[in-house]
Amino acid sequence: MTLEDIAPELAQQSAASKAQILIDSLPWLKRFHDQIIVVKFGGNAMISPELQRAFAEDMVYLRYAGIRPVIVHGGGPQISSMLDRLGIESEFRGGYRVTTPETMDVVRMVLSGQVNRELVSSINEHGPLAAGLSGEDAGLFKGRRRGAVVDGEEIDLGLVGDVIEVDPAAVLAQLDAGRIPVVSSIAPDVDTPGQSLNVNADSAAASLAISLGAAKLVILTDVAGLYRDWPDRESLVSVIHAPELRQLLPALESGMIPKMAACLDAVDGGVAKAAIIDGREPHAILLEIFTQSGIGTEVVPA
């Protein structure tokens, strides 16, 4: 028997496999139909054209599958690159970028003028679907400056803040128009009119997810998930309940704390599930949402 003889049978088997994949996704299509899913876009997916392209395809797929995705992004690598090009020194204290007024100008330029535009453009290659927003637009975010404690000492971080209030009207208007909102993590300072703050995108995404009544928050990162005993890769946690995560949080690696804290805040605020997933995996969003096991660490209520 030649390859030519068995080609029709192979084609039929391939078609059947594709059909089964679609049927396997049916429970998740039903569960999330017309629901809002907030996705924090970050990590390697931001700087890899291939991963950004795959991410854009995932967002478009969700939109046409009847799910309402909302994207929140930061832009740490791009901000650092631009600061270096401009010869502006920048330092991190307690895991946060110390943000001077000069640095804040660069943050706004990069987040709203570069990262947001590139992501909107990637999505809109598939049609006029995405709309860019800043946390400064239409009162979307309000922020307040924060400091950090390093070695027991309170540190002034400059124009760094937390989101303390969300008005989701602008995002809901875009969703109701059938668009995919893409939000940059900048917030006006409630205590200093005319001043903007650099806010953590993980935390901003959690605050927005709560305000929108999202069904799920998904945070892209550069690790496979939460490890109970890092660097033991066999200790990857698939699902963790909020009370256990609350106990583990202070002992986590510093880079993981803001992401897991955001997941915890979201679940505490009424979001049914939150997850961190490996954004280095092409189409990670689809694998997380449309499979039984997902691909990262999911945080659920008690």
Every domain of the chain and the residues it spans: 32-298
| Mean predicted confidence (pLDDT) in 166-185 | 98
Determine the pLDDT at residue 293: 73
Confidence of residue 47 (pLDDT cuts 50, 70, 90): confident
| Mean predicted confidence (pLDDT) in 94-98 | 84
d(CA 132, CA 114) in angstroms, rounded, equals: 11
Token pair, residue 155, equals 């540190």
CB 217 within 8 A of CB 180: no
Percent of the chain clearing pLDDT 90 (strictly above): 71
Q: Which of 14-23, 122-131, 200-209, 262-271 has the lowest mean pLDDT?
A: 14-23
Q: Helices 101-110 and 76-86: crossing angle, nearest 10°?
A: 120
d(CA 74, CA 115) in angstroms, rounded, equals: 8
Q: What kind of fold does domain 32-298 have according to CATH? A: Carbamate kinase (3.40.1160)
Q: Map tokens 């659920």 to a residue.
A: 300
Report pTM. 0.92
Determine the pLDDT at residue 10: 45
Q: Can you tell me whether residue 30 is helix, strand or coil? A: helix
d(CA 258, CA 39) in angstroms, rounded, equals: 15
Q: Map tokens 């303390």 to a residue.
A: 164
Task: Express each pLDDT in 3-43 by its tens digit.
Answer: 565 556 545 666 777 788 788 888 888 999 999 999 999 88
Determine the pLDDT at residue 39: 98
Determine the pLDDT at residue 194: 93
Phi, psi of 97 (to 5 degrees): -80, 120
Determine the pLDDT at residue 12: 62
| Mean predicted confidence (pLDDT) in 86-97 | 88
Distances in Å between the Cα of 294 and the Cα atoms of 51, 90, 112 are 18, 37, 31
Q: Does residue 243 have a cis peptide bond before it, meaning omega lies within 30 degrees of 0?
A: no
- Cβ neighbours of 219 (radius 10 Å): 29
**Nearest Cα residue to 256 out of 95, 32, 80:** 95
Q: Which residues pair with 166 in a beta bridge?
A: 141
Phi, psi of 30 (to 5 degrees): -70, -40
Q: Map tokens 């583990």 to a residue.
A: 248
DSSP string, 269-293: TT-SEEEEEETTSTTHHHHHHSSSS
Task: Express each pLDDT in 111-162 by its tens digit.
Answer: 999 999 999 999 999 999 999 999 999 999 999 999 887 777 888 999 999 9
d(CA 103, CA 80) in angstroms, rounded, equals: 10
CB 157 within 8 A of CB 99: yes
d(CA 67, CA 216) in angstroms, rounded, equals: 11
